[in-house]
């Protein structure tokens, strides 16, 4: 029973993964705005038939007041949804829109359901059967339009259909019972389609996010790639100067030649794992090509002591080919507010790395600080 309850809960109340929650809200809001305006327009065009379809014995409010109120509500919706709400650029606006859409659609459902129930009760027996059809068509259309907001779609179906189904099931008429069964099956199918749409959107957004991550991730080590590192560096550089460490595995070609490329790949994975563990949340770590890695962060987070710790960590780490591996590190500080200043910073760190290689490897070399006027001009640019 617990397992069945879990499956049912997962089907009827599935959760949106945190990683795509904001994207899901924005996508749903944008789609709902596009569809809802057409829905409001269609409902407005059908409101004059409310007076025509009302039973002769219906009250003035049921015959004319309710259709008029619905018409004004629909016109307000068409006008409101025609504005540029910039939903695609704001999660907060999208959340508010989805919430307002759920409330607004529920109010419309209440008006339509109340109209149909009163009309049913006032109509002759041979005319009653038309009102479940009227409310069902509106309910199914609205639920489809609101399928991006599962709660709103389900509420709309419940408010519209439950009162009429109750009347149909309890009327004692064989034809009313047949209509009630058909509408119930159709409503369940509509709920299934809403759920299917919900899961399809989640799967699509998850796949898109995974594709973006693959485009920004080194497939062998799982670290950032060169492009992603640049994006992180520019974002960090907008806040002020950054520090860049370039880490290169010493004599990596010899590892590949003596032990094969598979062992070489395993060595790369070990080095990547150690760098990621040492940096933790203090810096972004990337594999930028071959056996070369980079760490970018603030100077306080990437201290010289941490760079020396990297040397010791790699030097003492057990390796897949049972041989010691060492690295050389080039360190540079400077602005990275744009790609030009980033390239300058990278070249300085690369020159420091080259110097570390030239001085015997397995060491840290720091680039000379930028001259004060040059640093000021670069930061101003």
CB 238 within 8 A of CB 52: no
Strands 364-366 and 284-289: unpaired
Provide the 8-state DSSP code for 63. Answer: I
Q: Looking at 235, 239, 280, 291, which residue is catalytic? A: 291
In the chain, % helix, strand, coil (3-state, to 5) comes to 70, 10, 20
- C-alpha to C-alpha distance for 51 and 58, rounded to whole angstroms: 10
- Residue 31 CA to its chain's centroid (Å): 14
* DSSP for 26-59, written as a single string: HHHHHHHHHHHHHHHHHHHHHTHHHHHHS-TT--
Which secondary-structure segment (H or E) carries 279?
helix 261-279
Strands 292-297 and 242-249: antiparallel
Q: Is 117 helix (H, G, I), strand (E, B) or coil?
A: helix
Q: How far apart are the first and last CA of the chain?
A: 66
Exposed (0-12), middle (13-18) or buried (19+): which is 273, by Cβ within 10 Å? Answer: middle
Please, are residues 273 and 359 in contact by the beta-carbon 8 Å criterion? Answer: no
Residue 291 is among the residues annotated as catalytic for this protein: yes
Per DSSP, the three-state class of 328 is strand
Q: What is the CA radius of gyration of the chain?
A: 33
For 336-362, the DSSP string reads -SSHHHHHHHHHHHHHHHHHHHHTTSS
The residues that are catalytic are 291
């Amino acid at each position: 029973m617990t397992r069945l309850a879990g499956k049912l809960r997962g089907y009827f109340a599935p959760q949106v993964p945190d990683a795509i929650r904001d994207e899901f809200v924005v996508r749903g809001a944008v789609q709902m705005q596009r569809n809802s305006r057409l829905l409001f327009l269609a409902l407005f065009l059908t409101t004059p038939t409310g007076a025509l379809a009302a039973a002769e014995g219906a009250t003035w409010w049921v015959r004319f007041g309710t259709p008029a109120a619905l018409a004004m509500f629909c016109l307000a919706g068409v006008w409101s949804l025609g504005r540029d709400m910039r939903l695609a650029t704001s999660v907060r606006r999208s959340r508010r829109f989805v919430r307002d859409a759920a409330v607004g659609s529920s109010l419309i459902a209440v008006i339509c359901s109340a109209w149909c129930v009163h009309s049913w009760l006032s109509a002759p027996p041979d005319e009653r059967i038309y009102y479940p059809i009227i409310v069902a068509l509106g309910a199914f259309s609205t639920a489809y339009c609101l399928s991006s907001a599962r709660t709103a779609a389900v509420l709309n179906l419940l408010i519209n259909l439950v009162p009429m189904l109750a009347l149909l099931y309890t009327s004692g008429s064989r034809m009313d019972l047949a209509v009630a069964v058909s509408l119930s099956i159709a409503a369940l199918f509509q709920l299934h389609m809403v759920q299917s749409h919900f899961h399809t959107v989640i799967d699509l957004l998850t796949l898109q996010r995974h594709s973006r991550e693959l485009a920004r991730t080194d497939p062998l080590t799982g670290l950032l790639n060169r492009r992603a590192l640049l994006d992180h560096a520019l974002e960090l550089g907008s806040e002020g100067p950054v520090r860049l460490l370039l880490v290169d595995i010493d004599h990596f070609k010899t590892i590949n030649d003596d032990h094969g490329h598979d062992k070489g790949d395993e060595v790369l994975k070990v080095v990547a794992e150690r760098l990621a563990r040492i940096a933790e949340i203090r810096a972004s770590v990337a594999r930028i090509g071959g056996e070369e890695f980079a760490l970018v962060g603030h100077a306080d987070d990437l201290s010289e002591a941490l760079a020396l710790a990297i040397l010791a960590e790699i030097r003492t780490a057990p390796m897949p080919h049972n041989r010691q591996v060492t690295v050389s590190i080039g360190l540079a500080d400077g602005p990275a507010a744009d790609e030009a200043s980033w390239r300058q910073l990278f070249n300085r760190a690369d020159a420091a790395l080259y110097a570390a290689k030239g001085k015997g490897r397995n060491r840290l070399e720091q680039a000379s600080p930028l001259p004060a006027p040059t640093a000021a001009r670069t930061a101003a640019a």
